[in-house]
Amino acid sequence: MRRSSTKKTGQPASAVSLNSSASDLFRSASSKATSKELERIDQLFSTYADGSSGLIDPEGIEALCSDMEVDHTDVRILMVAWKMRAERQGYFTVDEWRRGLKSLRADTVSKLKKALPELEKEVRRPSNFVDFHAYSFRYCLTEEKQKSIDIESICELLDLVLGSLYRAQVDYFVEYLKTQTDYKVINMDQWMGFLRFCNEISFPDFSNYNPELAWPLILDNFVEWMREKQG
Amino acid sequence: MAVNERETIYLEQGWEIMQKGIMKLKNILEGLPETGISSEEYMTLYTTIYNMCTQKPPHDYSRQLYDKYRESLEEYIMSTVLPSLREKHDEFMLRELVKRWLNHKVMVRWLSRFFYYLDRYFIARRSLPPLNEVGLTCFRELVYQELKVKVSNVVISLIDQGREGKQIDRALVKNILDIFLEIGMGKMDYYENDFEAALLKDSAAYYSCKASGWISEEDFCPDYMLKAKECLKQEKYRISHYLHFSSEPKLLEKVQYELWSVYASRLFGKEYSGYHALLTDHKVENLARMVRVFSKVPTFLDPLTNILKQHITEEGTALVKQAEEAAGRKKANKKDVGLWQQVFMRKVIELHAKYVAFVNERFQNHVVFHEALRKAFEALCNKGVDGSSIADLLATFCDNILRKGSSEKLSNEDIEETLEKVVKLLAYINDKDLFTEFYRKKLARRLLFDMSANDDHERSMLMKLKHQFGVQFTLKMEGMVKDIMLAKENQTSFEEYVSNNPNANPGIDLTVTVLTTGFWPSYKSFDLNLPAEMVKCVEVFREFYQIKTKHRKLTWIYSLGTCNIIGKFEPKTMDLIVTTYQASALLLFNSSDRLSYSEIKIQLNLTDDDVVRLLHSLSCAKYKILKKEPNTKSIAPTDHFEFNSKFTDKMRRIKIHLPPVDGKKKVIEDVHKDRRYAIDASIVRIMKSRKVLGHQQLVMECIEQLHRMFKPDLKAIKKRIEDLITRDYLERDKDNPNLFRYLA
């Protein structure tokens, strides 16, 4: 357990900001305290990694999840990936692993599991959440040069990322997406627009929604559709 | 004398001296026999005050003297002035008031001179109101406030008498109103609140009553407007004589408004149901007069402009309904539906001309009426009629006028005039690009099938369009006309070429028109299997053209070609004018007597749609060149065809019509596609120059740039913006989602 004195070493007071630069804090803290940890983190990595590729692959992740007693489709795994800044869905590189676990101060599976509630809180902070929301979209872009995600997957992603926060909006929007035919895919701009929509627009009356502003067209259509439904 | 040597004057002493002077003043004002105040007396009074104010405390009596000054005035008012006013009434009261006011001003002036020393130092030091102000305030608080309502009423009743034509004492009124003005000591509040407001109210009531009396039982009393005009003139005259100039506009507006609204409520009241009542000549004359009188006050013209708008809308809607009914009838009878469209357009154009004449000639060419006209016609021209847009109908209308054999028999001047009117009407249509496309398509047919009635009219129309809407509008169409001209020259060179090169002779007279791709509507080219005779033609021309220009690619559009065929029928030989498609089909029968549908289709290499159409025209229509088995009214894939050797007609040469494919849907699709490109280009242009721009601003500028050709839909613009974001031309600002940034 790190003693509080080392935290203060050489850091300006305001450096403890609200996002993953917490990991920078730890990284730039005196290295002697982290070397034992790093060793354990690396060992943990090798237990899940695939020998030939040197990466943790989907199987490895599934194993990790089962060890943590968390479903691999749980949003908290996505949050861990965010913390790691993992780039490729389904895979963790050793750097990403180190980054994530160091910042979570976890070098064992149980510590990792215990870190999850705190991680959730961190992600849900408004300033982080926008970043997390954007990250989750990018994480799903599997092909090179892919810029949008198909409706089916988006519906699942919406449920995963925003379901607990904006249940009603997500449910209705998903229903809309499934019934409409104008759009076959959703792009990043629309994805981010939806989060803004949930944050700013009163639901379900939409009384402060103004289609003449720069809301993505799909949301204009969604509001129209909702209004028609409500009669 | 030196100050410290002075004897102290005590308050009572000093005041006694002052009282003497004040008393004398009062007496003079009351008209009692008194000598005037002499210089010595004035000096004494002044010095007394001076001394009393410059003594050392506790004998510095400035404050007390200030108060006593006011008290003396108050006492005088209470004891003398008010009683005298209270006992008088009406005009007498007014005269008394004027007198008392004048007296008061004199009193204040003199007293202020006596007490002047206070004004110089005491007042400034304590930031108190100066003596003059104190004096006038006394009068205001004690006299004015008590009498203002009474006075105002008397004045207004005098003014009303004046309106009735009685002689009134104008000078008296002016003097009283001057009191209202002066009592404010620089502010207009008292005048406005205590007099003017009541005047306006009374005037409104007065004229409302008066005007109602003028409206007789019959409609539109023509004298009314004259009387109204006279009233206003009189009011203006009156105003200049006794009211404050600031009252003029307010009063005139009120009066005008009352005169108008009485008339208007009569005009638009229940007695006048329906707008048809409105526009007989008699009534137009009255309306015109109203416009003349009220033309300087545009808000009063609002009811009239609404009437105009509503009338246009009603007539327009009636025309639309008529047209749709006619369309329904025609469809039921399966007759040619063209006529109602022509009639409808003609009527709309005439409707427009009628109302433009009204506004120009009767309604003073007034801008508010032009606005009303514009709004009404914009609403009308952007509707649809029986599924067709007015843009489409208008283009068809033009086609009917400009082509040969048109149902319209018009003189040259009439045609020119009609075309002018068409261009004017076009200004109201939002989808100008749609009109252009339809017009272009029809122009193409006229040019290619030599159906133009008159080249001058064609050119003239293009000039008119260019003049009204700019060079871009007619660029392509002018290109088309030029192509036709060049084609003629080209043809001459081709014929020379053929005569100089006997091997190159195709054996058939061939005329080719080369079209520049960008200018003409897009045509699909099918790989028609040409009859052998024609194949050589194509070859020969290709060689010829290669000599002329090396870098151009020729694509043959056989669907647009025409052919003269000699039909060797048994009764007599005849000339048949047909399309290339039809000719190709007919020539198949040179080598076979009887062909099945599928054989024809395979040999020609055309689509079912085309084959059905052309076989129908040859076997089921007016001229049955081919015999069909079975002899039913429509073409089936199981049919068989034979050359009809017995065919004949009284004419030696006949044209076998092949109805064109209805390309309307395609035109609309193409226009929408072009719009998407146009919006894209516009957005990029704007963002490139502005670099950063808000959403609403961007939308506005985009509409501004494009509105000459069409009215972009807000959703369409949004969609294009989003598309451009996906294509990395723009990005949304991180902090402000309503802001866009250009990505170089």
So what's the ipTM on this one? 0.74
Q: Give the span between the Cα atoms of B227 and B673, in whole angstroms.
A: 62
Is the separation of the CB atoms in B290 and B298 below 8 Å? no
**3-state SS assignment for residue B737:** coil
User: CA-based angle A187:A189:A194, to the nearest 5?
Assistant: 100
Spell out where B604-714 has E strands. Answer: 626-629, 640-643, 653-655, 692-694
- B696·A213 Cβ contact <8 A: yes
- What pLDDT, on the 0 to 100 scale, is given for residue B86? 92
Contacting residues of A for B728, CB less than 8 Å apart: none
Q: Would you write out chain A's pLDDT as a tens digit for each of its 231 residues?
A: 444 444 444 444 444 444 445 555 555 554 544 688 888 888 889 889 888 888 899 999 999 999 999 998 889 999 999 999 998 888 999 899 999 998 888 888 989 999 999 999 999 998 899 999 999 999 999 888 888 999 999 999 999 999 888 888 899 999 999 999 989 999 999 999 999 999 999 887 888 899 989 999 999 999 999 888 876
Q: Smallest Cβ distance to A214: which of B715, B726, B737?
A: B737
Bridge-partner residues for B385, per DSSP?
Answer: B388
B738 touches chain A (CB under 8 A): yes
User: Which residue, B532, B523, B579, B587, is CA-closest to B555?
Assistant: B523
What integer best gives the mean pLDDT of chain B?
A: 86
Determine if the peptide bond prior to A204 is cis (ω within 30°). Answer: yes
Could you identify the residue written with the tokens 């709309």?
Answer: B348
Which residue in B has a C-alpha nearest to residue A194's C-alpha?
B737
Closest chain A residue to the Cα of B700, Cα to Cα: A212
CA dist A46 and B449 (Å) reads 82
Q: What is the reported pLDDT for B221?
A: 56
CA-nearest residue to B739 within chain A is A214
Instruction: Give just the sign of the alpha carbon dihedral A32, A35, A38, A40.
Output: negative
Nearest by CB: B726 against A187, A211, A214: A187
Interface residue B39 vs chain A (CB under 8 A): no
- b/e sequence B700-715, b meaning 16+ C-beta within 10 Å: ebbbebbeebbebeee
Find out whether A101 and A184 touch, Cβ atoms under 8 Å.
no
pLDDT, residue A53, reads 86
Confidence (pLDDT) at B195 = 92
Partner residue opposite A217 with nearest CB, options B696, B718, B737: B718
Is residue B421 within 8 Å of B357, Cβ to Cβ?
no
Reduce the secondary structure of B478-528 to three states and give it as a string: HHHHHHHHHHHHHHHHHHHHHHHCHHHCCCCCCCCCCCCCCCCCCCCCCCC
C-alpha to C-alpha distance for B676 and B696, rounded to whole angstroms: 19
Question: What does pTM read for this prediction?
Answer: 0.65
Please state, in angstroms and rounded to a whole number, the distance separating the CA atoms of residues A104 and A126: 19
For residues B695 and B692, give the distance between their C-alpha atoms in angstroms, rounded to a whole number.
10
pLDDT digits (tens, 9 = 90+) for B440-497: 999 998 998 888 888 889 999 999 999 988 888 899 999 999 999 999 999 998 988 8
Q: What is the pLDDT of residue B642?
A: 92
Distance, in Å, from the CA atom of B7 to the CA atom of A91, rounded to the nearest integer, reads 113
By the 10 Å C-beta count (0-12 exposed, 13-18 middle, 19+ buried), B189 is classed as: exposed
pLDDT of res. A118:
92
Is the minimum CB–CB distance between B200 and chain A shorter than 8 Å?
A: no
Sign of CA dihedral B82, B83, B85, B86: positive
- B448 sits in which H/E element: helix B432-448
Whether residue B512 contacts residue B487, with contact meaning beta carbons closer than 8 Å, is answered with: yes
Mutation target to probe the B interface, by most B beta carbons within 10 A, among A146, A185, A189 is A189
Per-residue tokens: A58: 């989907």
Residue ranges for chain B with pLDDT beneath 70: 1-6, 215-223, 225, 261-262, 264-287, 289-290, 293-300, 303, 333-338, 407-408
Dist. CA A63–CA A78, nearest whole Å: 15
CA separation for the pair B521, B674 (Å, rounded): 13
Residue B200 CA to residue B178 CA, distance in Å, equals 18
The Cα-based distances of A169 to A134, A137, A229, B23, B672 in angstroms read 18, 18, 14, 90, 34
Q: First vs last Cα of chain A: how many Å apart?
A: 60
Rounded Cα–Cα distance for residues A140 and A149 (Å): 8
Q: What pLDDT sits at residue B303?
A: 66
Provide DSSP, A9-63.
Answer: TT--GGG--SSTHHHHHHHHS-GGGTHHHHHHHHHHHHHHS-TTTSSB-HHHHHH
Residue A9: predicted pLDDT: 45
Q: Are B180 and B187 in contact (CB under 8 A)?
A: no
Query: How are beta strands B739-742 and B730-732 bridged, if at all?
Result: antiparallel
- The answer to whether A180 contacts chain B (CB < 8 Å) is no
Cβ–Cβ of B722/A220 closer than 8 Å?
Answer: no
Nearest CA to CA, how far is A213 from chain B (Å)? 7
A24 at interface of B, judged by CB pairs closer than 8 A: no
Sheet hosting strand B653-655, strand order edge to edge: B562-568, B573-579, B653-655
For residue A214, list chain B residues with Cβ-Cβ distance below 8 A. 694-695, 718, 721, 732, 737-740
Cβ–Cβ contact B695 with A under 8 A: yes
